[in-house]
Amino acid sequence: MSVKEILEGIKKGNVLFGIKETLRFSKKSKKAKYKVFVVQDAREDTLKKLEENKIDFSKIKNKEDVAKELNLGFECETFLIK
């Protein structure tokens, strides 16, 4: 279900890609509601950064599968839906 949510968010222009953008948005918009998804094969460093910043997230499929399903030309570990 979450990959479908990300795809819908991409169509609406409401998705941020990557840990840097996720951290930047969460710090800047503390009261905003958003969802964060992380791929199963994300690096430990990525997970640690999310946990240190108290960002709740859900795990989804691996990078390769998510990139294929979203028809991305790149692999990404973190997706934030605004």
Q: What is the pLDDT of residues 11-64, one digit of tens each?
A: 999 999 999 999 999 999 878 899 999 999 999 999 999 999 999 999 999 999
Amino acid letter, residue 24: R
Q: What is the CATH number of the domain that holds 33?
A: 3.30.1330.30
pLDDT of residue 1: 59
CA distance linking residue 63 with residue 74, whole number of Å: 9
Is residue 13 a part of any domain in this protein?
yes
Number of domains, the chain = 1
Give 79's contacts (C-beta < 8 A, 6+ positions apart).
Answer: 6, 9, 15, 16, 17, 36, 37, 38
Q: What is the pLDDT of residue 2?
A: 86
Residue 54 lies in a domain: yes
With respect to residue 82, please indicate whether it lies within any of the assigned structural domains.
no
pLDDT at 22: 96
First CA to last CA distance, the chain:
17
pLDDT tens-digit series, residues 63-82: 999 999 999 999 999 999 99
Non-local CB neighbours of 18 within 8 Å, separated by 6+ positions: 76, 77, 78
- Determine the structural domain holding residue 52 and report its residue range: 2-77
Residue 46 forms part of a structural domain: yes
